Amino acid sequence: MDAGGMKMMLATAESAAEIIEKSKPLLKQATMLAQEVTPIIEELNSRDVLGTVQDLTSSASKAVDDINHINKIILTEDNVLLLKEAVGSLVNTLKNIEVSLSTPSDRLGNQASTPAANAFSLCPLSPPISRTSAAA
């Protein structure tokens, strides 16, 4: 080996030693972190948390599949059409009830009374107490 090769090898060794010295604090921190994490990992393994998470994920996936399947079965075009017709029928029924509760004056255009007020007018109340009769 010649003198140039020897100098290069010594320079490389010095660089390597310098890098190792600079990395010692980092290596100490990595060792401390590994010591802190090891018990946590052991506890997770002993509790089989990973298996539990996998089971929960699998159950959630099955539930989503079931919901999608139910939606496909229930929300067919025919069923949606039937549901729309049922809602329309319900709206018409409610309109008919409202008309049947209205008074003739409502039908003639008197907007002062409402179906709710008409419902109360069907239930007779005791006459209001006048101030003169209350004082007597």
Q: Are 80 and 74 in contact (CB under 8 A)?
A: no
User: What was the pLDDT predicted at 87?
Assistant: 92
List the chain residues with pLDDT less than 70.
1, 103-136
- Full residue range of the structural domain in which residue 79 is found: 75-127
Rounded distance between C-alpha atoms, residue 34 and residue 28, angstroms: 10
- What does the pLDDT look like over 9-44, one tens digit per residue? 888 888 888 888 888 888 888 889 889 888 888 887
Domain match, 93 and 50 both: no
HSE at residue 30, side-chain half, CA atoms within 13 A, is 5
For the entire predicted model, the pTM comes to 0.33
Domain match, 15 and 59 both: yes
Domain match, 16 and 58 both: yes
Q: 47, 65, 83 — which closes off a domain? A: 65
DSSP H or E stretch at residue 123: none
DSSP 43-66: HHHHHTHHHHHHHHHHHHHHHHHH
